[in-house]
Structure 1
Amino acid sequence: MEYKIRKVGLEHLNDAAELFNLYRVFYRQADDYEKCKQFIRERLDNEQSNIFLVYVEDKAVGFVQLYKMYHYIKLAKQWLLSDLFVHPDYRGKGLSVALIDRSKQWCNETEACGLMLETEKTNDIGNKLYPRCGFEYDGQHNYYYWWK
């Protein structure tokens, strides 16, 4: 399957927002395209994330979103692979792997030490995909959240 991966700018906002909305619906959140569009626009306007879209025949079918973090041991920048999504009609065609590979390339381009990610324990697809892509499972840490 032929595809192209593009770094998102404001000219790609509608495509990114549409996929981000579908991604959130996948994670049992309310369908809200306009709020997703505003969220993505703010991330781009404030240079708070880097997003890559994968296109098949000029249709955006998947994305990855990366946030900058810093690693205290390596004393270097790293990227949080926060969001990865491929439209269900295009899954199983290697597009998730291509987006992860592009994220690794972004690490090289930005002199980052690596990628970090978290996924739900019930995400069977992701929990099989990430080790295949060279990620190591860190079973020594628990992740906790505080929400206001």
Structure 2
Amino acid sequence: MIRSATLSDLSALANLFDQYRVFYRKDSDIPAAEQFLKDRLTLGDSVIYVAEIAGELVGFTQLYPIFSSTRMRRLWLLNDLFVHPAQRGQGLSLQLLDQTKKHCRETRACGVMLETEKSNTIGNRLYPRAGFQQNEGSNFYEWTNNE
């Protein structure tokens, strides 16, 4: 079942979020993950959907609102998507992405954008299957504040 995350999900969600971060070569830090997610849920500055099987959280996606000036509409940034490795292959990622697209339509946003590493073979196969198209007409740049 896919549903919106609540504060009562915080502990289980933080564990999944920590695994997601470790996948991207970050140090494990469950207390910080829990605080980060608590802030997102409390402040309402992101939208988090969870995948639940038999009362256990097994996956999540997190969306952040941004805006497209040229389209003059909201745009959602799909920043995080993770399904526990033991639960992969059951279509949960596609269900989370379907919920993301439903949320986009319900909020009358112009679309959903995401970024994944070139080395993320699972994601790079998943997103086109879910109807996402790679934007080859743009360059992605990043500036990192090292202070």
- TM-score, L = length of structure 2: 0.95
Deviation at 1:73? 2.2
Deviation at 1:94? 0.4
Alignment of 1:59-70 (within 5 A): 59-70=56-67
1:45 alignment partner in structure 2:
42
- 3-state DSSP of counterpart to 1:42: helix
2:31 alignment partner in structure 1:
34
Distance 1:55 1:139 in 2: 35
Distance 1:19 1:110 in 2: 26
For residue 135 of structure 1, the aligned residue among 132, 137, 141 is: 132
Amino acid at match of 2:74: K
- 3-state DSSP of counterpart to 2:77: strand
- 3-state DSSP of counterpart to 1:85: strand
Distance 1:144 1:113 in 2: 22
Percent same amino acid among aligned pairs? 47
2:71 alignment partner in structure 1:
74
Tell me how many residue pairs correspond in the alignment.
Answer: 145
Amino acid at match of 2:98: D
Moved over 2 A (4+): none
Distance 2:93 2:112 in 1: 15
1:115 alignment partner in structure 2:
112
2:82 alignment partner in structure 1:
85
Deviation at 1:60? 0.4
- 3-state DSSP of counterpart to 2:18: helix
Amino acid at match of 2:49: F
- 3-state DSSP of counterpart to 2:26: coil
Deviation at 1:59? 0.8
Cα RMSD over matched residues?
Answer: 0.9
User: Mind listing any 5+ residue stretches in structure 1 that lack a counterpart?
Assistant: none
User: Mind listing any 5+ residue stretches in structure 2 that lack a counterpart?
Assistant: none
Distance 1:145 1:118 in 2: 12
1:4-24 Cα deviation digits (max 9, x unpaired): 112012111112111100100
Amino acid at match of 2:66: M
